């Protein structure tokens, strides 16, 4: 009797048939990361999307990341496993509020974190990710007032790192990184005194001040790979465990839970499943479709960001 193909086999067959590339963020379930052609943080995924060949990009992350891939690849089909995989930072910053801010402050430079809707990107002067945010803000002439949006924690961190006074900060927050209780971090430090604390800059400054290393998702992974330390307290989304195990076999990782749950998982990122990925490749939907003028206007700040080395 011939056994029926596994989900992974079905996806690999569809990937060939559709001439597709599968991109996955580090916060995806391990089984999705295993099947992806490339796993990365939001900056790396933007760059990979730009290099993509083939007809289809299947983007396993959240919606704004897939929109970014579409802006960089307007002629390719971009599909996602679940269209409802959103982001609390995107929700905190509606485009009409930014248009109103610009009307009132036409001379301010809008620096938008990549965790924004494509409509907000289209209103922005330049984009950034958690990996390059300090560099991007430093690239803006010192006399210009900056509006940094939408993440208040990343904004506060960048303001501290750059020492920039003329920087206004939108008050959005990530539901995962903004809800790590300092009390639980201090408990973990007491329980594991040998462990180094590594944190994503979307965490509040009250958490970051206890960190031995602060960085974007991929920067944390690189740090774990290079560090002689064997034990870490992790202040970010627990999906990174897959990559930590790959780069630091035998090392130990302790995760601090969010305020209201016994986990540190992004509920949006975890909406994607292998079944939904298979269906997206089969039906070529849900698909990212964006108006011409939005694609054109969002590309400019994205290209400005990618040009900053």
- List Cα–Cα distances, 151 to 114, 120, 123, 145, 249, in angstroms: 10, 13, 17, 17, 33
| Residue 283, token pair as written in the block | 């039906």
What distance lies between CA 56 and its chain's CA centroid? Answer: 21
In whole angstroms, what is the distance from residue 282 CA to residue 16 CA? 11
Q: Of 90, 134, 138, which is closest to residue 114 (Cα–Cα)?
A: 90
Query: Measured from the CB atom, is 14 or 211 closer to ligand SF4?
Result: 211
The answer to whether 67 contacts ligand SF4 (rule: CB under 6 A) is: no
The answer to whether 42 contacts ligand 13P (rule: CB under 6 A) is: yes
Site string for ligand SF4, 156-175 (x = CB under 6 A): ------------------xx
Three-class secondary structure of residue 169 per DSSP:
strand
Of residues 186 through 225, those in contact with ligand SF4 by CB under 6 A are 202
In whole angstroms, what is the distance from residue 141 CA to residue 2 CA? 66
Task: List phi, psi (to 5°) of 48.
Answer: -65, -40
The answer to whether 237 contacts ligand SF4 (rule: CB under 6 A) is: yes
From ligand SF4, ligand 13P, none, interface partner of 130 (C-beta below 5 to 8 A by class): ligand 13P
The answer to whether 130 contacts ligand 13P (rule: CB under 6 A) is: yes
Place of tokens 């509006």: 147
Residue nearest to ligand 13P (CB): 41
**Choices 1-9, 67-75, 129-137, 297-305; region in contact with ligand 13P by CB under 6 A:** 129-137
Of residues 44 through 63, those in contact with ligand SF4 by CB under 6 A are 62
Query: Measured from the CB atom, is 271 or 284 closer to ligand SF4?
Result: 271
**CB atoms < 10 A from the CB of 245, how many?**
14
CB of 288 to ligand SF4, least distance (A): 16
| Residue from 10, 21, 36, 41 binding ligand 13P (CB under 6 A) | 41
Q: How many residues does the chain have?
A: 309
- List Cα–Cα distances, 181 to 56, 178, 203, in angstroms: 41, 9, 10
Query: Measured from the CB atom, is 147 or 235 closer to ligand 13P?
Result: 235
Of residues 259 through 278, those in contact with ligand SF4 by CB under 6 A are 266, 268-269
Q: Of 55, 96, 97, 101, which is closest to residue 79 (Cα–Cα)?
A: 55
The answer to whether 217 contacts ligand 13P (rule: CB under 6 A) is: yes
How wide is the angle at C-alpha 162 spanned by C-alphas 228 and 39, nearest 5°? 50
Query: Measured from the CB atom, is 45 or 281 closer to ligand 13P?
Result: 45
From ligand SF4, ligand 13P, none, interface partner of 42 (C-beta below 5 to 8 A by class): ligand 13P
From ligand SF4, ligand 13P, none, interface partner of 158 (C-beta below 5 to 8 A by class): none
| 207-222 burial code (b ≥16 CB/10 A, e <16) | bbebbebbbbbbbbbe
The answer to whether 115 contacts ligand SF4 (rule: CB under 6 A) is: yes
Binding site for ligand SF4 (CB under 6 A): 62, 87-89, 115, 174-176, 202, 237, 266, 268-269
């Amino acid at each position: 009797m011939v056994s029926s193909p596994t989900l992974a086999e079905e996806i690999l067959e569809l990937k060939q048939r559709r001439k597709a590339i599968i991109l996955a963020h580090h916060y995806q379930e391990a089984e999705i990361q295993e099947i992806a052609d490339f796993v990365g943080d939001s900056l790396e995924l933007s760059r990979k999307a730009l290099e993509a060949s083939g007809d289809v990009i299947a983007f396993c992350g959240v919606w704004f990341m897939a929109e970014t891939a579409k802006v960089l690849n307007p002629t390719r089909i971009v599909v996602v496993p679940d269209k409802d995989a959103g982001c609390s930072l995107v929700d905190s910053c509606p485009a009409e509020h930014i248009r109103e801010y610009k009307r009132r402050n036409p001379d301010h430079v809008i620096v938008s974190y990549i965790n924004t809707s494509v409509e907000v990107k289209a209103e922005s002067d330049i984009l950034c990710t958690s990996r390059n945010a300090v560099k991007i803000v430093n690239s803006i002439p010192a006399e210009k007032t900056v509006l940094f949006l939408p993440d208040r924690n990343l904004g506060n961190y960048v303001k501290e790192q750059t020492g920039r006074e003329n920087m206004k900060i939108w008050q959005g927050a990530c539901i995962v990184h903004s809800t790590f209780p300092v009390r639980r971090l201090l408990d973990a430090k007491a329980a594991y005194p040998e462990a180094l604390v590594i944190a994503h800059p979307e965490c509040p400054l009250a958490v970051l001040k206890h960190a031995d290393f602060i960085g974007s998702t991929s920067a944390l992974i690189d740090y774990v790979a290079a560090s002689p330390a064997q034990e870490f307290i992790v202040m970010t989304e627990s999906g990174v465990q897959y990559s930590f195990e790959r780069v630091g076999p035998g090392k130990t990782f302790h995760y601090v839970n969010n305020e209201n749950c016994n986990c540190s998982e992004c509920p949006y990122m975890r909406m994607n499943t292998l079944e939904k990925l298979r269906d997206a490749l089969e039906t070529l939907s849900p698909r990212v479709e964006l108006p011409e003028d939005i694609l054109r206007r969002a590309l400019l700040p994205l290209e400005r960001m990618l040009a900053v080395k």
